[in-house]
Every structure is written in structure tokens, then in C-alpha cells.
A and B are shown apart, each in its own frame.
Chain A
Amino acid sequence: MSSRLSYYLQRSVRFLSPAPPVIANRYPRLHNVLWVTKAAGYALLFGHLITTYGFSYTGTWGVSMLPSIASSGDFVLISKFYRHGRGLEVGDLVTYKHPYHGDQGLYGIKRLVGLPGDFVLRDSPGAKEGVMIQVPQGHCWIVGDNLPLSRDSRMFGPIPLGLIKGKVIAKSQLFGRDFKWMKNPLQDVADDMHDEEDETI
């Protein structure tokens, strides 16, 4: 074996074998502190990963989503797989970073009424001029369930899909009491309504 090859072999073997635990042997208390710090750091990192890309469970407040979500005391389970509007459908409940107060950490929950290219009423049904708009590319239209007491797209216009952070998939009270999966309320029109239409025509 050439001398150079054996040199590299030795180096790599030294690299592969673990170094003697200097800190653990000489400063056991420091070693413990370091270990706890590292574990806390990993916990924070994984917590952030999970709440950004996985799921989060958080309390809500405000009257804009009555009666779907109570004005206080309701908790929601949010799936972040739907962030940036991925896989969403009209009628879903979405969480979004507030377009004006998002840097202060304000997030909202509203109902998704229009995706890019869809057409929506600009105001509540029967209010103002009753004009319609097309939701622009990369944007969506969100409206609270409690129409008179909700500040939403009717006020600040379509919001970028990048502000959509997730979809509300369930709600409950504190500690999971009264746990309920959310259903998309966009339904086929009931049959009796079709009958009425037929009679008038």
C-alpha cells in the first residue's frame, strides 16, 4: 500500500471515530446545560415546522364569523397543508394574515367565496350598487359569515393567496370539548326550491 493511501485511510478513520467527549468528562454540569439548550432548540424548530406546515390549534375571538364560530371561547384546528390557497374550494373556512395588520401578528378567519378568476358580488346581496367583480390572478375573495359585523374583502378588496395560511378543519371548546369537523356549506340547492322555480316558469 502506498504511503499516501494509508495516510488518507488513517485520516478518514480518525474522522469517522467519535472524538473523546471532552466537555462531558471535564465539565459535566456544562454538558447538561448544553444538552438541555440543544433539546429546547430542536423543540422550538420542530414546533415551528409543525405549526407552519402541519397543524395548529388556537383560540379565536370576534363576532365576524357568528354563528359558525362563537365570539369568544371557541378553538379551531387549522390544517396548514392548504397554505397559499392550495387545494381550497369555495365555501371553505380559511385563516389569513391580515393585509393591513399582519405585521402586528393579526390573523383572521373568513369564508372563501372566490378563487382567482371567479366572479363575486362586491358587496353584500342587496347592498349598494350590487355590482360584480372578477377575482384577479393570485388573489381570493373572503367574506365573514356575519355579514354586517365583518371586515373582509368587501372592505379591503381581494387578498393575495400568499396571505392564506391554512384551512379551518375543526372547531371545539377548550381542551377539545364539543369537537366538530367543519363542513363546507356550499351545497346543492334543495329540491323544493327547484320545484318552486318550475311552478313560476
Chain B
Amino acid sequence: MAPLVETFHPARLQQHIQYQADGKVRKPPVDLRQCALKELIQYECDLRGPLNDPKSKVVCDPVLKLFRKCANGLTVETTSWEDIHDR
């Protein structure tokens, strides 16, 4: 079984990234806005048309995921955070 982990809202991301996986505080503190913005495209693929019809095709719609790659090797998925961090 995977270990139990705490879930949190993306608005709290800036506070949570100050801690490493072992619970120690990151030094120096990380500012997500200073980290390099990266993108990763994944997909939602499905069959368009009836099943067993040779004319049906698998069509993939892109799903954009955004990441921030910080200098100390930390990678943070900021897909949700990018829209809310200014509030």
C-alpha cells in the first residue's frame, strides 16, 4: 500500500512547497514564481464513431499540464495553481 498522504487545495501550494518529503523546511525558501515554467501535453483519446465500424477513428484531444521546475531539482505541477496564485 502506498503511504497515506495529505491532500491540500492548490491555493495552499506556495506554503506546502516549503517542506521536503521528510517534513524538513526547505532552505533557502522557494518562490514558485521564480521557477522555470514548463509544459507537458497529455491526451484524452477516444473512438469517434460506432464500435466495429472501420471508418471510426481514435481522436486525441490535448490536455495541457503546467509545471514549475525550481533550481534545487524540485518539480511542481502548477496546472491549477497558475490560475489562482495571484488571488
Binding site for B on A (CB under 8 A): 63, 66-67, 90-91, 99, 111, 113-122, 124-125, 129-137, 139, 143-149, 156-159, 185-190
Contact = CB atoms under 8 A, between A and B. Distances in A.
20 contacts: A63-B45, A90-B75, A114-B77, A118-B76, A120-B77, A125-B63, A130-B9, A131-B9, A131-B10, A133-B6, A134-B5, A134-B6, A136-B5, A137-B22, A146-B42, A146-B60, A148-B45, A158-B3, A187-B40, A189-B38
Contacts of A66: 43, 45, 58, 60
A134 to B, nearest CB: 6
Interface string B38-68: 1111111110000000000010100111110
Given A113-B77, A118-B74, A121-B80, A146 B22 contact: no
Given A146-B45, A189-B37, A132 B77 contact: yes
B79 A121 contact: yes
A91 B38 CA distance: 10
Interface in B66-86: 66-67, 69, 74-77, 79-80
B21 A116 contact: yes
Contacts, number: 129
Nearest to A160: B2
The majority secondary structure among interface residues of chain A is loop
Given A121-B80, A186-B67, A158 B2 contact: yes
A145 B77 contact: no
B43 A145 contact: yes
Given A67-B45, A116-B21, A189-B66, A158 B5 contact: yes
A91 to B, nearest CB: 6
Contact of A124 (B37, B60, B63): B63
